[in-house]
Structure 1
Amino acid sequence: MTRRRTRTRLRRNGPFNWRSALRSLALLVLALAVGGCVRVSVHGDRGAYEEANRPMTDSTPLRVATYNVSLYSEEAGGLIRQLEGEDAQARKIAAVLQRIRPDVVLLNEFDYDPDGRAADLFQQRYLARAQPGGGEALAYPYRYLAPVNTGVPSGLDLDRNGEVGGSGRDRGNDAWGYGLHPGQYGMLVLSRYPIDAAAVRSFQHLKWSAMPGARAPVDSTTGAPWYPPQVWAQLRLSSKSHWDVPISTPHGIVHLLAAHPTPPVFDGPEDRNGRRNADEIRLWAEYINPTGDRAWLCDDRGRCGGLAADANFVIVGDYNADPVDGDGVPGAIAQLLDHPRVNARFVPRSTGAAPRAAERGIARRGDLRSHTGDFGPEGGTLRLDYVLPSTGLRVADGGVFWPASGEPGSDIVDASDHHLVWLDLVPAN
């Protein structure tokens, strides 16, 4: 179901003409298929390629980011058509990335298509061109994309409205993850450094019922399980997918643990989305536990168990869970923030979040400066997006790209209702 493309390596061997190789690189089409869903290609001018491959020492920070870009369409193929034009939203998203220039970034809510056409267009037409309000062209030679559960019909009545599928927006309720077409609200990893496609692990098909002590929804009136047994046995845990993407960085292999749990709203008193959100977050907490029985934790290739105890990782994504505010299950994100293998002491902040929170006027108990999303007068601001490194990595710097009104970059922050979060990471030792 997935596909991988290899990279062409240019290396010195005797009287090798490096400058000539770089000039000819623009003519190469790096599109050999070798099984996975890594898209490996170089777009843009020579300067962009050289910037993507600038030397990095052991002491140079690795900049890792997450960004919910809201680049999705309610129609299959809609994002491709959007990016084929001169899309103002995509230009602003690219401008933000060009300003922050992460080495590795997860994009949430970027529609998946099997050929990776949308990812190609975003690189070629937006990142590879200097954007107003942004910086110089930006190249990501390596990328990972794969199918997600959103919009994939389950064939089951998951919302218990008496019919399977339905019409209009209701049909999304009976998909494995809410969506109006397969791939909506997908994920995309962009990287300056090679991705080990053969070692990628995905948990798209892991059953929710496989998790010991799963927070199964309960009918508030009867106390009985909300999902009938035949439905509960089939229901997938991940609303999109959970990916372990190993990346070969100058600091060694770093496992990018990427996910986008469902929002804990749009349900009823059974709180099926809130409970699912909490258990989607728990999946990573269990995955990085160095001890315990994890035989149930089996990926889409049938390999069971969690991450090695000595592995470095960074958990990234829009987790739809604020530490103290919002509608999520209490303590949901604390499963990661308080985990003994997670270094969560550094909290990224911005200058723009607190003023916006004050404008919204919704009472909040948490640190307003750490908020990453703005959901209007009714939803207010919350901290939902996270970059959480393992204890083997030290945070040198970080932030949320949310400048206050009038500050540089404030004209491009409205591209999404979320804001990019980034950390600069170095080895802890």
Structure 2
Amino acid sequence: MGRRQRIVVWAAGVVAGVLAAVSAMPTATAAAEPRAGSGAVRFATFNASLNRSEEGRLLADLSTPDDPQARKVAEVLQRTRPDVVLLNEFDFVEGGRAVDAFHRNYLEVGQGGASPLRYPYAWTAPVNTGVPSGFDLNNDGRVGGGDDAWGFGLFPGQYGMVVLSRHPIDTAAARTFQHFRWRDMPGASLPDDVGTARPADWYSDEELARFPLSSKSHWDLPVLVGGRRVHLLVSHPTPPTFDGPEDRNGRRNHDEIRFWADYVRPGRADYVYDDAGRRGGLPAGEPFVVAGDQNADLLDGDSVDAAIDQIRRAPRVIDPFPGSAGAAWAAVLQGGANSRHRGPSFLDTGDFDDRSVGNLRVDWVLPSHPLSPVRSGVFWPLHGDPLSRLNDASDHHLVWVDLLVPGAR
């Protein structure tokens, strides 16, 4: 039996067991509530889709307390109450003003009967999305627009990232890799113009001299949990679609994921440099959590085969297999492409077009030894659950993992 078959057989058993146990659970949402006194720290990722089509629009929406989507996003966070959470697709605004507004008008105000939530620590920084390149990156004969930005976006900072934390973030030791060049990765999977005889020539030498690997950014944020340092490694690779036979987005997605796989392996990241010019990867033995919308499913979707396995199968990495009965049931109700998927719907995190794509596992929280996962899940309430009204907060669902951190006080 091959590896893919083993995964499917294993996961099918998990799904059957979970669905059989649904009747014994109070609700799907109750299972997401933290257990008081467990000592575990909840790490989460949530592509909140708090992006807007115009620059400044998100700040305007968050500056009042009545944006319907922001209220739902805040309630999802209040219901799951992560200690450390990455929010993908949160438009970057200089000075963190949008983050402050979200805190003040949404998180710190109880939504839908949930308790307010406060994060004393936050991190955000510029990203590559929407930053004009000055080049014709999609080779359509015109320069300008989202497709010719260093990362797809209509304005600088669209589809940005934010980390919120109850634990201190060692900002002095934080590393960002926004400007690491794609061509500086050894063996980079650069796209090829299939209409020429030259290899890997979709981008010109002039373009590659400036082309960043990261479509948004890669951040290594040391979080101090009870005095123990845990490296939160966050990113949001480009979707592996919206291109042609050159597969420029699929290849970039693959290498954006590979970056962390190399970064956490001693001896594999000598080529890495951060935006401050410091070289090398993660020190050996340091605990870490990889989090983010990786836009890559293990078995289905358009990502390059085994793209996510690069980090899933890296040394010390643990896959806690977070899932939800809500996702499994949604795949049955929605049908379409879901019926053709090889992967278990129980593990899905994104709810996409059922005619062509279907639901996928694209949002990941992957801890490393010596961290110990004790529980995990996806906030996807079952159809009929009172909190299923939150399922349309985003086309993604929050993924959480509760971790014991050895040595934390």
TM interval, short-chain normalised:
0.7 to 0.9
Shift of 1:284: 0.2
Map of 2:341 onto structure 1: 364
| Contact 1:288/1:341 (<8 A) preserved | no
Map of 2:41 onto structure 1: 62
Map residues 372-387 of structure 1 onto 2, 5 A cutoff: 372-377=349-354, 378-387=356-365
- Say which of 311, 324, 327 aligns to 2:299: 324
Map of 1:296 onto structure 2: 271
Shift of 1:153: 0.6
Shift of 1:222: 2.1
Shift of 1:140: 0.2
d(CA) in 2 for partners of 1:223 and 1:102? 51
Work out the number of aligned pairs and report it: 366
The normalised TM-score by structure 1 is 0.83
Map of 2:50 onto structure 1: 71
Matched, 1:217 2:191: yes
Map of 1:113 onto structure 2: 93
d(CA) in 1 for partners of 2:298 and 2:63? 39
d(CA) in 1 for partners of 2:391 and 2:382? 10
**Aligned to 2:77, what secondary structure does the other structure show?**
helix
Which letter does structure 2 place at the counterpart of 1:95? E
Matched, 1:92 2:78: no
**Aligned to 2:290, what secondary structure does the other structure show?**
strand
Map of 2:244 onto structure 1: 268
Map of 1:239 onto structure 2: 215
d(CA) in 1 for partners of 2:357 and 2:342? 15
The normalised TM-score by structure 2 is 0.87
Map of 1:420 onto structure 2: 398
Which letter does structure 2 place at the counterpart of 1:259? S
Map of 1:202 onto structure 2: 176
| Contact 1:391/1:428 (<8 A) preserved | no
Map residues 138-177 of structure 1 onto 2, 5 A cutoff: 138-165=117-144, 171-177=145-151
d(CA) in 2 for partners of 1:250 and 1:60? 10
- Say which of 302, 307, 315 aligns to 1:340: 315
| Contact 1:95/1:130 (<8 A) preserved | yes
- Say which of 179, 190, 202 aligns to 1:226: 202
| Contact 1:251/1:427 (<8 A) preserved | no
**Aligned to 2:389, what secondary structure does the other structure show?**
coil
Which letter does structure 1 place at the counterpart of 2:394? S
Shift of 1:115: 1.9
Shift of 1:367: 1.2
d(CA) in 1 for partners of 2:174 and 2:405? 22
RMSD: 1.5
Q: Which runs of 5+ in 1 are unaligned?
A: 1-55, 166-170
Cα deviations across residues 211-233 of structure 1 (Å, max 9, x unaligned)?
Answer: 00000101123242111222122
| Contact 1:259/1:318 (<8 A) preserved | yes
d(CA) in 2 for partners of 1:109 and 1:269? 27
| Contact 1:360/1:376 (<8 A) preserved | no
Please say which of residues 325-334 and 347-356 is displaced more in the overlay: 347-356
Cα deviations across residues 168-208 of structure 1 (Å, max 9, x unaligned)?
Answer: xxx00111100000100000000001111110000000000
- Say which of 389, 392, 397 aligns to 2:370: 392
Matched, 1:187 2:125: no
Bigger helix share: 2
| Contact 1:71/1:111 (<8 A) preserved | yes
**Aligned to 2:48, what secondary structure does the other structure show?**
strand
d(CA) in 1 for partners of 2:279 and 2:291? 22
Please say which of residues 224-233 and 308-317 is displaced more in the overlay: 224-233
Shift of 1:310: 1.5
| Contact 2:43/2:402 (<8 A) preserved | yes
**Aligned to 2:39, what secondary structure does the other structure show?**
coil
Instruction: Classify 1:204/1:424 alpha carbon distance in 2 versus 1 (closer, same or farther; 3 Å).
Output: same
d(CA) in 1 for partners of 2:344 and 2:226? 34
Q: Which runs of 5+ in 2 are unaligned?
A: 1-35
- Say which of 234, 240, 243 aligns to 1:258: 234
After superposing on structure 2, the runs of 4+ consecutive aligned residues of structure 1 that deviate more than 6 Å are none
